[in-house]
Amino acid sequence: MDRAVDVEGGEVPETENKVMLMPGFPCPLCRFPTYSWVEDMGNKLEPYVLDFIRENHPGWDIEFGACDRCVEVYKLRADGVM
């Protein structure tokens, strides 16, 4: 480890853990495997749509992502279409 990482003071730096949206992983909303993730949801969706998703999935956060189908359905539901 000492040779692999040159660290000042001999301590391993903390790294930020990031959720990886891998192809074939289940969507956190519908639980179906997906290959079509919607990333950067904070910039792509209106806040009221994100709030609507959080109301239905209290433990969910935008970093967990969602499949494109769920995003489409929640947009329509938030707009009152469905």
User: What are 44-67's pLDDT values in tens digits?
Assistant: 999 999 999 999 999 999 989 999
Give the separation between CA 50 and CA 75, rounded to whole angstroms.
9
What is the percent of the chain with per-residue pLDDT over 90, rounded to a whole number?
Answer: 57
**E strands in the chain:** 37-38, 66-67
Q: pTM to 2 decimals?
A: 0.73
Take residue 43 and report the two structure tokens written for it: 């910039």
